[in-house]
Structure 1
Amino acid sequence: MRTTLTVVLTTAALSGLVGGSASAGTPADQRPTLALAAPTGPFPVGRATRHVVDYQRPDPWVANRRRELMLTVWYPAARPAGPVAKYTTAKESEILVRQFSPELPADLLATLPTHARTNAPARTAPGGLPLVLLSPGWQLPRSSQTGLAEEFASRGYVVAAIDHTYESTAVEFPDGRVTTCAACEQLAALPPAEHEAFFVRVSTGRAADVSFVIDALKRGFPAVDGKRVAMVGHSIGGSATVAAMAADRRIAAGVNMDGRLSPPLTRQLARPVLFFGEQRSVPGGAIEWDASYRQLTGWRRWLSVRGMGHESFSDLGLLGEQLGMPMQDMPGRRSVDVQRAYLTAFLDQHLRGRAQPILDGPSNDFAEVTFQ
């Protein structure tokens, strides 16, 4: 369990995707072959991009700017029409690769195929579809949760992943501007004693982002049922999930995926919360998990997964393994299956009211999952 995915690990992850040997001029038959796991739900997946601006709130990291965010919205499509969506934009891929491992193909991430169609017609349902908000790990782009988002959308959820501007390595806006991680530069200038307060600021800022995004999607994405909202976050995004639930009662349920809580809960929270962590995420392993779990007075579960690592809770867990750099002891595809099983069960139970026995106790099908 870690507050962030460190620069060292991110560098290793990106380098591992191609074994550190490919270049922009690498012949096609020597380029890396990367693939996300195909979604398993009954619906084809559509994807749209949204740019939203909160004119009432200044940006917390850069002076004299309003808070603006880029969102990717996945949804069940009425039919699989439209071009296949790109994993990242070309500019985002170029910056990510240049920063972490410049010998790699600049278009590495932009050419990774997804399973969604751009602007496919959305499936509708009476009353709208439940909404799931995704908050990525520190420095990671919103695209790092693509595999999970496609799975949720294929099962009938609208899913919005948020790039928290200036907290991600690269975010491209519709006018061609690309922002980088200004917050990372501020963190690097702080002494270690001030890091905890910094990440409290990150979590509370992301909570404000999330409340604004809910408002924006209720206005601008008619397929959404604003009364059925959940949030899932990885690393600092998991911390932000708990902070957002404490601040906004519209978030009916939330999942913290292996994120240290900054700040820990100091008052009771009665809505459903799942703590879902790697093998070291056990009682006593992180004081703020222990203290915060005691504040959960509604439905709650604390699951630890043997063999999973911190990066397993993003696409890096699967993609790194494909080119010889596994980031967990468990096979990458198995980690995907475990997450899909428990997270979709959590959403189905708490947003759709469908009881899920897998959440009641240990399962022979997932022996690596421990109920704490």
Structure 2
Amino acid sequence: MRAVPGHILGTLERAGRGVVVLAVDGLSARAAAETWTAAETVVLTSTFPSTSATAWMTAVTGAAVHGHLVVGAVYRSPAEDVLVDVITGDPLAAAPRPLDTLRALPTVFEAAASRARVVVAGRELDTLTGPWVTALLRGAERGPKPDPQALDAEAGDPASLAAAVGRDVGRALAAHRDDRPLLLWIYVNLDLHLHRHGYDTRALDALRALERHALGWVERGWTVLAHSDHGHVRCVRDTALEEAWARVDTPELCALPAGGAGRVRWLYPREERRAEAADRLRDALGDHALVVDAEELPSLGLMDLTPAVRERLGGVVAVATSPRFPLPVPGFAYEHGGRTEDETAVPLATWG
């Protein structure tokens, strides 16, 4: 994932008119291999956790988690000692702003600005405010905010989504003057459908439609790249495991409610009860999770711990090892965040 900015910049150097980047949320390398048959594709490894907030930030900055500090989707803002949904920027309790959530780093958009016009069609991202999206899209020209109702309808219907992305790219390319190259980055929210239905026929047909669009843009002199942030795996809801988690995630044992990202979650235990919290969570989840003290993450090759990471991450971490792992948002049929191949192997595809 850290190689993405360099690949985009290198492709931009060699491209004729410019580069279109399809940033497809939720696409696994396996699904891309099945549908993008005309592309030259390499497989990248997502971040840990394999979640959008973390992976997109790495993909645009080239930095590891300990660089940008986006350790997950929901985590502690250390200055205020509250949990924050980092994508929306909203604290999960009353807190002053701005919150101490991340470290804004130079992006691929800033690096490309000296050699190209840089435009982001953020779609759902353009409806967000807050530090995360500001840091993510730093250095890019952004258009007017889209209609949220239209976005919701398109995200719920993969065929409509592919058609809308084709229209949005077509308009941006038609509006561009060829006095300098263009880097156009567009967000493709396939993730909502995938959470509900997985890689069904509708999702795969939409991916094939995106490839047809890409080949059409190549015929007109553009180079097209596409990559993802994470994949998805099947989940099975187990209310007994959800209740078991809740019996450990209590104010008596923990200073804050749990944070995390899908199939990776963590507790913020009171320091004097940290070992107890780990033992109780390990007993509660059994074979459905690997439960470790956060200090063990580097030895597992999952995350480098710096003081700034430790301030944000919980002290006890649970990584899903079964489809029955209790999710922070119960009810999704497919989820991500963990370290299985289908969650972490993502495509980087090139046409042209």
TM-score normalised by L of structure 2:
0.28
Higher percent of residues as helix:
2
